[in-house]
Structure 1
Amino acid sequence: METALIIGSSGGIGSALADALTARGVAVTGLSRRHDGLDVADEASVKAALGALDGPFDLVFVATGALEINGAEPEKTLKHVTAEAMIDQFKLNTVGPSLVLKHAMRLLPRKGRAIFVALSARVGSIGDNRLGGWYSYRTSKAALNQMIHGSAIELARTHKDLICVVLHPGTVETRFTEKYVGHNPSVPASEAAENLLAVLDGLTPNDTGKFFDWQGKEVPW
């Protein structure tokens, strides 16, 4: 891996990934709302930001996302579901990575191993859902999983060696999760980044379209 594009490079996981890749000698390009004004839910913003780049990139990693948006906490019951919260979650967690993939296709090599990754979450797994709740966030991540799975099928026709996956990073110690860590074991962002990169190191084109956790174990859809 020689070149990487990190979307959401100013966030906890995104910045840790950029640092870890740089330490490996990878040439990292980072884009974020904070530093570059990138709004992943706005196609004009995504098109302009990615259109200004020259590829190819061996890795495109979308590390954006949020559990709370505009103060709306994860719903504990159906009574708390609102259209506004659901739409906000879909814009950031589903639409955002989907638009990045759309406009990053020209930056991915058609020959040779390359990886497109979007951060998902285990709670987005329908098969693993035994608790209910967290409706908007869960559903937006489940929709993201479907987008990446379907896109992997299409892209395999033109990018034979591309690996297109979603990853669950585990519970990471960032502003994103500080209110929700609870009794779940958590790791610093730097450790999470190394875990995720270790998973990517072991993937082959046969793994495209799949969902893995930070240990490299496949997560049910």
Structure 2
Amino acid sequence: MRILLVEDEDRIASFMASGLTAEGHAVERAGTAAQALGMSFAHEYDLILLDLMLPDGDGREVLQAVRARNSDVPVVVLTALGEIDDKVALLDLGADDYLVKPIAFAELAARVRAAARHGQQSARALSSGELELDTKTRIATCGERSVDLPSREFALLEYLMRHAGQVLTRQQILDAVWGFGFESASNIVDVYVGYLRRKLDEPGRPSVIETVRGAGYRVRA
């Protein structure tokens, strides 16, 4: 999994990152609320580990901002607050789970695995209007039609549908679907959006993928 670790203390961050890396995860670290917001908005993560006490703000604000974008990425909060009322408040804000400091790595690893399972189960079927995407069988259905999509087109459509209602820039799409080796000047995103439109759109009806002039693309929620 690709994990965003939001933790300002170097020692704790190093401890968690090294352990999770050994478990096979790719870990990227943010040390401030501003970094966390920028990274979570710019890139696609499978899980966010979020400390509440950050030098430039409260982790709750980061959590609220992530959920305000309709992102369903699993978020596990790292907190020193152990009272029941505190835990309930965090879950009500949109956290999927929490860990009370000090944290034992075995428990952290188990919570990460549980969050991954929950995320995979909840995100299997994606839909937007008449368009449905099954991420397990990798079948796209548009109305009564089953649409055959090569792997890259499928990955692009999946990314857009996981962020239905959000305007995604070409750079965000490049980073998430093609990785970081492509320059923003490349028109490959436009080319592949064209491929999808030719396969998915119905004559006389609005395109499944909307062009937002000067910004990027959006699949309607």
TM-score by length of 1: 0.42
Greater per-residue strand proportion: 2
Larger Cα-atom Rg: 2
Point out which structure has higher relative CO (alpha carbons under 8 A, 6+ apart).
1
